[in-house]
Amino acid sequence: MSDTVTIKFPTGESYKQPTGIFINNEFRPAQSGETSDVINPSTEEVITKVSKGNSKDVDDAVNAADEAFHEWSQTEPYQRSLLLLKLADLIERDQDIIAKIDSLNNGKALKWAKTDVGLLIRSLRSTAGAYDKINGRTIDTSNDYLTYTKREPLGVCGQVIPWNFPILMWGWKIAPAVITGNTVVLKPASATPLSALYTSQLVKEAGFPPGVINTLIGSGRDAGDHMLRHPKIRKTAFTGSTEIGREILISSGESNLKKISVELGGKSPNIVFNDVESKIDQVVDSLIFGIFYNNGEVCCAGSRIYVQSGIYDKIVSKLVEKTKSLKIGDPFDKDVFHGSQAIKSQFDTVLDYIEKGKKEGAKILVGGERIGKKGYFIQPTIFETDNEDYSVVKEEIFGPVATISKFTTVDEVIQKANDSEFGLASGLHTNDLNVALEVSNRLQAGTVWVNTFNDLQESTPFGGYKQSGFGREMGTEVFDNYTQVKSVRIKFDHKNALTEGKV
């Protein structure tokens, strides 16, 4: 199998796609010679085959990262920053290709794939700019001591990313790891590896030393599990389901007590108050973006919509109208808002939840069906609910399905919003600053968006409460995931120094 193939986009352009495992700045086949198919979810056709690594390939990647760590951890932070900035420049140069790769491999609308790449570039540059701000502190204990702390890297970081934001998650993981002096073995989702492999070649072009960043494709149950338990990996970062997050915590305890950060599931509330009647169109656009952006495959999606009784009917009417007008289909069509679901198993799961919602008594206001017979397309769907115990209200669906229900008081909606084991994000829409502050303070979520939703920004930390995980992406808080604190305490002997005439 060649390590590179030519792939043609539906728009007519072609590009060279690496297909091997990326270790020590080189692509190579898996030791077993195994490959796996990569599917275009919009057509259900095979795009290409990629090398499928196993535990032996993980060992090779980890050994390369471990060897590189000794020099990389001692590299001047400024030099690490320059390389990360160069990588951002190269991604900016190739951003059109990278966005199209994600649309082809993931099924998301090209406009949103371009948004992902833009945020990635900004995130890399923001992280690079923090190289001289990842500091310890001095502690004034007395004149007899100099006491200070310093932040040091952990070592080899094993990173596992999901299929819903392939290239954005790649950058969110590697940037804070390498700027703090760690090295990386990253496993993209088996279904969506192409953009991570393409961008890995830019790592070498940017000038990163061999072994600092390694990308390995393989199954979660083989390569992934071996990464989680590998004795040379000192840190695991994972984005994905809460179920797998629990397994990661167990694997850390059963191996070498790796440091863990996990960004897991969500079932985010999105609340609308009566006082926004003057801007209903703007609010409805935000609700639509909150749930149907990225085909609904967003861990923080605003999938539980709560609308105050005085404006409820107007919001429902306008929301149904605008949802019906969304263009769904070929992600390369510039007018398409909503592409296909990314993988067959999740496509089936979403359809199963829709049927479950119908059987439990939830009322479909719009959508609820598969589109066509080819490709994983589902109509954007909204259920009207009067029972918080419905599965479609309580459980994460991870697709283009929202529920909407009515509330009367602030206390009532806060109780409903917080009645979840998830706490990744939340949103509210109001013109009243007092309401915005009170509700924001009472919501149990890692992010609260006010008069907006899914509004990520590279210097703002993102992560969850409760079973949505712990640790943060972006912001200065992300560096807590990738450093350990050393305390140094030096005692001075003033009396001896004076006696011996040294001072």
Burial class (CB in 10 A: 0-12, 13-18, 19+), 489: exposed
2 pLDDT more than 90: no
The pLDDT of residue 501: 55
Active-site entry in 44, 71, 254, 263: 263
With bands split at pLDDT 50, 70 and 90, how would you rate the model's confidence at 365? very high
Its pTM stands at 0.95
- Model confidence over 158-202: pLDDT tens digits? 999 999 999 999 999 999 999 999 999 999 999 999 999 999 999
Average pLDDT over residues 11-23: 97
Average pLDDT over residues 117-143: 96
Say how many C-beta atoms besides its own lie within 10 A of residue 437's C-beta: 12
The pLDDT of residue 498: 54
The pLDDT of residue 334: 94
431 by DSSP, 3-state: which?
Answer: coil
- Model confidence over 206-253: pLDDT tens digits? 999 999 999 999 988 899 999 999 999 999 999 999 999 999 999 999
What secondary structure does DSSP assign to 241-269, as a single string? -HHHHHHHHHHHHHTT--EEEEE-----E
Structural domains in the chain, sorted by start = 43-133+158-263 (3.40.605.10), 269-450 (3.40.309.10)
The pLDDT of residue 500: 59
369 pLDDT more than 60: yes
Task: Give the separation between CA 292 and CA 320, rounded to whole angstroms.
Answer: 13
19 close to 7: Cβ distance less than 8 angstroms: no
The pLDDT of residue 220: 85
Average pLDDT over residues 447-474: 97
Average pLDDT over residues 265-290: 97
With bands split at pLDDT 50, 70 and 90, how would you rate the model's confidence at 493? confident
- Model confidence over 297-307: pLDDT tens digits? 999 999 999 99
Q: Which of 21, 22, 174, 171 is nearest to 98 (CA)?
A: 171
The pLDDT of residue 502: 54
Burial class (CB in 10 A: 0-12, 13-18, 19+), 355: exposed
42 pLDDT more than 90: yes
Rounded CA Rg of the chain: 24
The pLDDT of residue 368: 96
% of the chain residues with pLDDT over 90: 96
Instruction: Give alpha helix (H) positions in 395-486.
Output: 410-418, 433-442
Decide if 45 is catalytic.
Answer: no
The pLDDT of residue 221: 84
- Model confidence over 140-165: pLDDT tens digits? 999 999 999 999 999 999 999 999 99
Say how many C-beta atoms besides its own lie within 10 A of residue 476's C-beta: 15
- Long-range contacts formed by 385-389: CB under 8 A, 24+ apart: 387/360, 387/361, 387/362, 388/416, 388/419
Say how many C-beta atoms besides its own lie within 10 A of residue 258's C-beta: 25
Task: Give the separation between CA 383 and CA 391, rounded to whole angstroms.
Answer: 11
